[in-house]
Amino acid sequence: MKAAMSLVGSQGIFSATEVFLVAAIFCLVFLLIQSFRQHVPKGLKSPPGPRGYPILGNVLELRKDTHLALTRLSQKYGDVMEVRIGTRPVLVLSGLDTIKQALVKQGEDFMGRPDLYSFRHVADGQSLAFSPDSGEVWKARRKLAQNALKTFSIAPSPTSSSTCLLEEHISKEADYLVTKFLQLMDEEKSFDPYRYLVVSVANVICAMCFGKRYDHNDQELLNIVNVSDQFSNAAAAGNPADFIPVLRYLPSRTMSLFKDFNKRFLHFVQKIVQEHYKTYDKNNIRDITDSLIEQCLQKKVEANTATQVPKEKVVNLVNDLFGAGFDSVTTGLSWSLMYLVTYPDIQKKIQEELDQTIGRERRPRLSDRGTLPYTEAFILEMFRHSSFLPFTIPHSTTRDTVLNGYYIPKDRCVFVNQWQVNHDEKLWKDPLTFNPERFLSAGGTEVSKEDGEKVLVFGLGKRKCIGELIARCQVFLFLSTLLQQLEFSVCNGKKVDMTQLYGLSLKHKRCKHFQVKQRFAMKGMN
């Protein structure tokens, strides 16, 4: 309250106080009415949770490192608990079995999205991923987007019958990164790899969505991919502005940057889609955007008209596919490099495995995944230990339901705590220790599929990230290509800071002290 009042000049303090008093009275009355309205059927009970403060609810407890705060609370109140952010109740799910029960076994009940203030600014409120809509039209268009993504990833490469389009795009960008990192070492002696990772990863999805790649100095692309934290900060689970309406009318740098980012991002995609409409040729479907335009222009009336894509929806679908295609992969790769320089012995083991299995005469391929168990185990442990996607995008109940004996009403906002699962002592021995071996069989020759499936990264059920397979392929192929040819370290006397910065995805502080050393002279690898 004091912080809000300090934003008002001395001449306006009393009027601001009056406004807040009226808001406070309104919220208290609303809360009282809601408490009378919520009817819990006989034999059931409401989820337990902390009491919180009037008006604010539990927002003060959750204001910093929300994933850690909710994990601590779940230890006291259980896997199904309820907190309040402002006056709005939020269901928080923890525990692998409970989350699977909700998102998979009762998937229809929990597949909604809450109508949050920040969500309304993503793709003008028409985002496939953030939209509150979960009906038949939404399902049909999600499936359409999945099919387009799949088609332009597994399709054979035009230059090699043994590789797919996705593999060709990733390998090309990974090779570029190797060359770029070595060039930077010659010029600057140390560098920040994130700046280059993000463009190369974005270029993979650009190739699939737009049929083109961008130069690493392209300012239009850099203005988007280099400031993705402006999106992550506001879209994080627990943003007070999503739950306390009065905050939307106060100056907020975070929300201003978020709105501006979404406008620039949508404009970037709109421009490309418009160009595709001008050059569209039904006999030459070049990329995902063309594929979606084809559906839009299709004149034949199908039995299920929900699969038809209105012209204005093409931009929104492309916006979602492109937006989801670079941030999570870049964050995963960036965390990988942080772990590799922090644990050089682990880096060495991965490189020994690459040398023994692949050698130095050819590049790694996606088909190598099953033959590189230590590399795969490292990636799984990076996903688990960093948990850089601490929550799924918030869910919402589509109808009244019951979970673990607790009554959950329709339209209840739901947070799914992936970080808790990935650090649950019931599932993992010494969960705070970084240890890839935990995923390997006794002989170290195979990755435990059962343990791998316990790691939550991309969600579960009907709202699961549609780009999960592509993201996993990118992390594997980028990482194996880089480590086959380069050795990563930091400058003498320097250390990386592994402190996690909370947002929709957990970032780390950028490090400008990375160094690379070429492991062997390249001989025109295949």
- Residue 48 above 70 pLDDT? yes
What pLDDT does 375 receive?
A: 97
Q: Token pair for residue 254?
A: 């975070």
Question: What is the tally of structural domains in the chain?
Answer: 1
Is 135's pLDDT higher than 60? yes
- The fraction of the chain above a pLDDT of 90, given in percent, is 48
- The backbone torsions φ and ψ at residue 182, rounded to the nearest 5 degrees and listed phi first, read -65, -40
Q: Is residue 507 part of a domain?
A: yes
Among residues 314, 286, 287, the alpha carbon closest in space to that of 298 is found at 314
Domain interval for residue 480: 38-518
Q: What share of the chain is helix, strand, coil (3-state, %, to 5)?
A: 55, 10, 35
Q: Which amino acid is at 141?
A: R
The CA distance from 492 to 501, in Å, is 25
For 291, phi and psi rounded to 5 degrees?
-60, -40
pLDDT band at 523 (very low <50, low <70, confident <90, very high): low
Residues 6+ apart with CB under 8 A from 242: 85, 116, 117, 118, 119
Quote the CA–CA distance of 199 and 209 in Å, as a whole number. 15
pLDDT grade for 1, boundaries at 50, 70 and 90? very low
CATH number of the domain enclosing 398: 1.10.630.10
Residues sharing a CB contact under 8 Å with residue 371, sequence separation 6 or more, in sequence order: 357
Helix axes 344-357, 373-386, angle to 10 degrees: 150
Averaged pLDDT of the chain: 85
pLDDT in tens, 248-301: 888 888 888 888 888 888 888 889 989 998 999 888 888 888 888 887 777 444
* Residue 401: band (very low, low, confident or very high) from pLDDT cuts 50, 70, 90: very high
The answer to pTM > 0.85 is yes
Instruction: Answer whether residue 227 shows pLDDT above 50.
Output: yes
In a domain, 352, yes or no: yes
Closest CA to 257 of 269, 246, 265: 265
- The amino acid occupying position 485 is Q
In degrees and rounded to multiples of 5, residue 405 shows phi and psi of 85, 0
Q: Report if residue 159 sits inside a domain.
A: yes
Tell me how far apart the alpha carbons of residues 144 and 150 are, in angstroms, rounded to a whole number.
10
DSSP state of 40: P
DSSP 454: T
Encoded tokens for 105: 């076994």
Q: Which amino acid is at 162?
A: S
Q: Is 209 known to sit in a ligand binding site?
A: no
Using an 8 Å Cβ cutoff, are 416 and 103 in contact? Answer: yes
Q: Is residue 240 part of a domain?
A: yes
Contact between 448 and 441 under an 8 Å Cβ cutoff? The reply is yes
- Is residue 5 in a domain? no
Residue with tokens 């930091």: 490
Q: What is the pLDDT of residues 5-34, one digit of tens each?
A: 333 333 333 455 555 565 666 666 555 545
Backbone angles phi, psi at 411, to 5 degrees: 65, 25
Tell me: pLDDT of 224 over 70. Answer: yes
More confident residue, 228 or 161: 228
Give start and end residues of each alpha helix (H) in 155-297: 165-188, 194-210, 219-225, 229-235, 253-279, 288-297
Relative orientation angle of helices 311-342 and 344-357, to the nearest 10 degrees = 110
Tokens of 433: 């220790």
pLDDT over 90 (residue 373): yes
Query: In this structure, are residues 474 and 172 in contact, taking their beta carbons and an 8 Å threshold?
Result: no
The pLDDT of residue 94: 97
Higher pLDDT, 137 or 324: 137
* Two tokens, residue 293: 């335009």
Using one digit for the tens of pLDDT, what is the confidence trace for 288-311? 888 888 877 774 445 455 556 666
